[in-house]
């Protein structure tokens, strides 16, 4: 019985220290990082070819609750390849930052979880008729999830078709 117990304890311990079940402190996830989710988020009704409203949107995050929207954006950042080329509609806070080294401004839509302590930013590029909105404005973006290379890294962004200010 003693041997039996030790074997069980050993199994528990060995299983536990294998990779995985680690904490998903998602806010630090970088664009382009690849996780082993191994599933396609487009197995759901958000599947691209048959949009129920005919809007051309593959993934509408605006109809999801904050908890769901944040989780889905986390998955987008963790597995960007699964989302590439899809038209995505998302709302959140607008945030712009300027990089002194490149001399360019970068624009993000920030999606927060329910407690607003975890946030994910999706970079977007807009060549629309109007200027970018003011920082921390609430915006809604529709665009195609795309990628570009810079400094040896792959970055993912939304090529925005429309950017609307929300009240």
Which residues in this chain contact another protein in the complex, by CB under 8 A?
Answer: 2, 5, 8-9, 11-13, 15-28, 35-41, 43-45, 64-68, 70-72, 74-75, 78, 113-115, 117-119
Which CB, 24 or 137, lies closer to another protein? 24
Which CB, 9 or 164, lies closer to another protein? 9
- Minimum distance between the CB of residue 134 and another protein, rounded to whole angstroms? 23
Task: Encode burial over 73-107: b for 16+ CB neighbours within 10 A, e otherwise.
Answer: bbbbbbbbebbeebbbbbbbbbbeeeeeeeeeebb
Cα–Cα distance measured from residue 151 to residue 88, given in angstroms and rounded to the nearest whole number = 26
User: Rg of the chain over CA atoms, in angstroms?
Assistant: 20
Which CB, 79 or 126, lies closer to another protein? 79
Which CB, 121 or 143, lies closer to another protein? 121
- Minimum distance between the CB of residue 140 and another protein, rounded to whole angstroms? 17
């Amino acid at each position: 019985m003693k041997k039996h117990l030790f074997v069980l304890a050993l199994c528990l311990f060995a299983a536990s220290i294998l990779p995985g079940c680690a904490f998903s402190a998602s806010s630090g996830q970088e664009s382009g990082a690849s996780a082993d989710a191994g599933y396609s988020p487009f197995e759901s009704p958000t599947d691209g070819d048959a949009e129920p409203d005919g809007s051309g949107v593959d993934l509408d995050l605006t109809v999801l609750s904050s908890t769901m929207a944040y989780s889905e954006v986390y998955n987008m950042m963790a597995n960007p390849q699964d989302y590439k080329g899809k038209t995505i509609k998302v709302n959140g806070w607008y945030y712009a930052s300027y990089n002194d080294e490149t001399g360019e401004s970068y624009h993000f839509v920030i999606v927060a979880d329910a407690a607003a302590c975890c946030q994910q930013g999706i970079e977007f590029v807009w060549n629309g008729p109007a200027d970018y909105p003011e920082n921390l404005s609430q915006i809604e973006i529709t665009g195609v999830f795309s990628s570009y290379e810079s400094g040896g890294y792959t970055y993912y962004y939304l090529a925005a078709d429309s950017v609307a200010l929300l009240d």
